[in-house]
Structure 1
Amino acid sequence: MPKYSFFCRLSLLGILLTMLGCAMKRAQTYDFPEPIDTSSRPIVLQEKKIYSFSELGVYADNRFAGARLNGMIALNDTLLQATVAPENTPINHSAFYAFRIWADSARALTVELDYVDQFHRYWPKLSHDGFYWRPMDSSRFEMAADSSWARLQLTVGPDTLYVSGQELLTSDDVWTWCSLQAIHPAVQLTSAGKSAEGRELPRLEINEGDPIGKDLVVVLSRQHPPEVTGYLAMQAFVHELLADNELSNAFRKRYRVLVYPILNPDGVDLGHWRHNTGGVDLNRDWAYYRQPEIRQVANDIVHFRRKGRNRVVLGLDFHSTWHDMFYTPDETAPSVIDGFKEKWLAGIEASLKDYAIREEPGPVKQPTSSGWFITQFDAEGITFEIGDDTPRTLVRRKGQVGAIEMMKALMGVER
């Protein structure tokens, strides 16, 4: 064999091995039974401005992270109409709003929320500092029979009042929370990449000891910007994983956990109803990864799994909807931890007094994160939904109990 032929073949083999190695570091595409086109679509940005009604001595604005206010006009001396529109359409009915309002002197005022062919979903929350929130008194709230508008009776004055569909927890707030968790010796905070607008995609790695060969649990949150209750439950879930008790300490030694607390930071900070700046529902992009946020996070998970020789056993994605719900795989889905969901859900129900689990099992259909964990790793993929109006103490308790019962089920601990 001529030397040049030998070296050509050797070079070709090296190229093929390099290509194979690169492919193994990336998430694999998958043709889901119900495909969805997640190519980028145009969005409409809200104009950031102060709405000044000087004749009334009243002012409102949307010049802060997480705001959503597309217009405001005065209908009379005591009634303002606020227009709230989505980033693009078609879109899920998640009509989010957030604005600030103040006045030269104390006065009563009604603000009507007009949703432009959508309907009201989120009960108003009020705050004077953007940190401490309270739900609006029901006696000061009115809604149309068809939910096309809502009226809020406010008392405003020189002290700025925040009015929002949910508590404001921006990408900066999430990073601050991540930094606090990273004080724990078992936590490493890094970034999985950047969003389309350059915001960080934080990743928390939870592990004690050598991570090589451990089973891996993955936790996701904030694919959809207004779904704050899911994020709050995720926080409580993580806090319990880091607790100093026998169960949590043992779990961190046996399992590795990756937490991606905000997958759509652009949408969160821009006050979007559901989509990213590509105008796409990120939880439908887990087939071909056309959006940068999902592409980077999916590849990051695959990279960690391969580098650590870990087996991904469970993916939990925290969301919010009208009521508490668990979307789980049905009996047609493979799982490397058979019987997990039955033990886990039974444990949660037994631990929460007067609480009945709502579970909706189903086959893999659309390219969601839960379907991705199943098709990519044969892992259990579960969507952990929290109700929009679930009391916040119960939200946190559900997150805590969810973590406790997950650890028990995975560790084989009897109740």
Structure 2
Amino acid sequence: MPKYSFFCRLSLLGILLTMLGCAMKRAQTYDFPEPIDTSSRPIVLQEKKIYSFSELGVYADNRFAGARLNGMIALNDTLLQATVAPENTPINHSAFYAFRIWADSARALTVELDYVDQFHRYWPKLSHDGFYWRPMDSSRFEMAADSSWARLQLTVGPDTLYVSGQELLTSNDVWTWCSLQAIHPAVQLTSAGKSAEGRELPRLEINEGDPIGKDLVVVLSRQHPPEVTGYLAMQAFVHELLADNELSNAFRKRYRVLVYPILNPDGVDLGHWRHNTGGVDLNRDWAYYRQPEIRQVANDIVHFRRKGRNRVVLGLDFHSTWHDMFYTPDETAPSVIDGFKEKWLAGIEASLKDYAIREEPGPVKQPTSSGWFITQFDAEGITFEIGDDTPRTLVRRKGQVGAIEMMKALMGVER
């Protein structure tokens, strides 16, 4: 055999091995039964401005991260109409709003939220500093019979008042929280990449000891910007994993955990109802990874699993909806931890007084994160939904109990 032929074949083999190695580091595509086109679509950005009603001595603005206010006009001396529109359509019914309002002197004022072909969803939250929030008193709230508008009776003055559908927790707030968790010796904070607009996609790795060969749990949150209650539950979940007690300490020695607390930082900071800057629902992009946020996070998980020779056993994705709900795989889905969800859900129900689990099992259909964990790893993929209006103390308690019962179920600890 000529020498050049041998070297050509050797080079070709090297190229093929390199290509194979690169492919193994990337998430594999999958044809889900109900495919969804997640190619980028145009979005409409809100104009950032101050709405000045000098004749009334009243002002409002949307010039802060997380704001959503598309327009405001005065209907009379005491009634302002705020227009709230989504980033694009079609879109989920998640009509989020957030603005600031103030006046030259103290006065009563009504603001009517007018939705564009949508309806009211989020109960108003009020704050004077953007940090401490309180729900609006029901006596000062009115809503149309068809939910097409809502009226908020406000007392405004020189002290700026934040009005928002949910508490504002921006990408900077998330990074600050991650930095505080990274003080714990078992936590490493790094970035899985950047969003389309250059915001960080933070990743927390929780582990004690040698990570090689451990089973791996993955936690996701904030694919959808307004779903704050899911994020709050995720925070409490992580806090419990890091607690200094016998169960949590033992769990960190046996399991490795990856936490991606905000997958859609652009949408969060731009006050989006649902989508990223590509105009796409990120929780439908887990088949072909057309959006940079999901592509980077999916590849990051696969890279960690391969490098650490870990077995992914569970993926939990925290969301919010109208009421508490667990979306789980049905009996048709494979799982490397058979029986986990039954033990886990039963443990949660037993630990929360007067609480009945609402579960909706189903087959893998659409390219969601839960379906991705199943198709990519044969892992358990579960969506942990928290109600929009669930009391915040209960939200955090559910996150805490969810972590405790997960650790018990995975480690075989009896109740």
Residues 208-223 of structure 1 aligned to structure 2 (within 5 Å): 208-223=208-223
Q: Distance in 2 between matches of 1:334 and 1:14?
A: 35
- SS in structure 2 opposite 1:342? helix
For 1:387, the equivalent position in structure 2 comes to 387
Shift in Å at residue 37 of structure 1? 0.1
- SS in structure 2 opposite 1:9? helix
For 1:137, the equivalent position in structure 2 comes to 137
Shift in Å at residue 296 of structure 1? 0.1
Shift in Å at residue 265 of structure 1? 0.1
Q: Distance in 2 between matches of 1:224 and 1:146?
A: 25
Shift in Å at residue 371 of structure 1? 0.1
Deviations 1:279-302 (A, max 9, x none): 000000000000000000000000
- SS in structure 2 opposite 1:67? coil
Which sections of structure 1, spanning at least 5 residues, go unmatched?
Answer: none
Q: Distance in 2 between matches of 1:165 and 1:87?
A: 16
Deviations 1:126-174 (A, max 9, x none): 0000000000000000000000000000000000000000000000000
Q: Distance in 2 between matches of 1:162 and 1:253?
A: 43
Q: Distance in 1 between matches of 2:16 and 2:9?
A: 10
- SS in structure 1 opposite 2:35? coil
Q: Distance in 2 between matches of 1:207 and 1:7?
A: 45
Q: Distance in 1 between matches of 2:10 and 2:48?
A: 60
Deviations 1:323-382 (A, max 9, x none): 000000000000000000000000000000000000000000000000000000000000
For 1:106, the equivalent position in structure 2 comes to 106
Q: Distance in 1 between matches of 2:98 and 2:47?
A: 14
Q: What's the C-alpha RMSD, in Å, of the aligned pairs?
A: 0.2
Shift in Å at residue 217 of structure 1? 0.1
- SS in structure 2 opposite 1:296? helix
- SS in structure 1 opposite 2:274? coil
For 2:367, the equivalent position in structure 1 comes to 367
Deviations 1:187-225 (A, max 9, x none): 000000000000000000000000000000000000000
For 1:123, the equivalent position in structure 2 comes to 123
- SS in structure 2 opposite 1:338? coil
Shift in Å at residue 396 of structure 1? 0.1
Q: Distance in 1 between matches of 2:224 and 2:48?
A: 22
Moved over 2 A (4+): none
Shift in Å at residue 250 of structure 1? 0.2
Q: Distance in 2 between matches of 1:198 and 1:235?
A: 24
- SS in structure 1 opposite 2:102? strand
Q: Distance in 1 between matches of 2:222 and 2:185?
A: 25
Shift in Å at residue 41 of structure 1? 0.1
Q: Distance in 2 between matches of 1:117 and 1:153?
A: 23
Residues 165-180 of structure 1 aligned to structure 2 (within 5 Å): 165-180=165-180
Deviations 1:258-317 (A, max 9, x none): 000000000000000000000000000000000000000000000000000000000000
- SS in structure 1 opposite 2:146? coil
Shift in Å at residue 3 of structure 1? 0.9
Deviations 1:21-69 (A, max 9, x none): 0000000000000000000000000000000000000000000000000
Q: Distance in 2 between matches of 1:233 and 1:338?
A: 25
Indicate whether 1:17 and 2:8 are aligned.
Answer: no
Q: Distance in 2 between matches of 1:273 and 1:127?
A: 20
- SS in structure 2 opposite 1:405? helix
Q: Distance in 2 between matches of 1:8 and 1:131?
A: 64
Q: Distance in 1 between matches of 2:404 and 2:294?
A: 28
Q: Distance in 2 between matches of 1:5 and 1:67?
A: 64
Shift in Å at residue 88 of structure 1? 0.1
Q: Distance in 2 between matches of 1:4 and 1:252?
A: 54
Shift in Å at residue 78 of structure 1? 0.2
Q: Distance in 2 between matches of 1:117 and 1:214?
A: 50
Shift in Å at residue 230 of structure 1? 0.1
- SS in structure 2 opposite 1:382? strand
Deviations 1:4-37 (A, max 9, x none): 1111111100000000000000000000000000
Shift in Å at residue 113 of structure 1? 0.1
- SS in structure 1 opposite 2:233? helix
- SS in structure 2 opposite 1:87? coil
- SS in structure 1 opposite 2:234? helix
Indicate whether 1:228 and 2:225 are aligned.
Answer: no
- SS in structure 1 opposite 2:121? coil
- SS in structure 2 opposite 1:108? strand
Q: Distance in 2 between matches of 1:2 and 1:310?
A: 44
Deviations 1:71-119 (A, max 9, x none): 0000000000000000000000000000000000000000000001100
Shift in Å at residue 2 of structure 1? 1.1
TM-score (norm 2): 1.00
For 2:326, the equivalent position in structure 1 comes to 326
Q: Distance in 2 between matches of 1:11 and 1:74?
A: 73
Aligned-residue identity in percent: 100
Q: Distance in 1 between matches of 2:72 and 2:346?
A: 49
- SS in structure 2 opposite 1:393? helix
Q: Distance in 2 between matches of 1:269 and 1:349?
A: 35
- SS in structure 2 opposite 1:32? coil
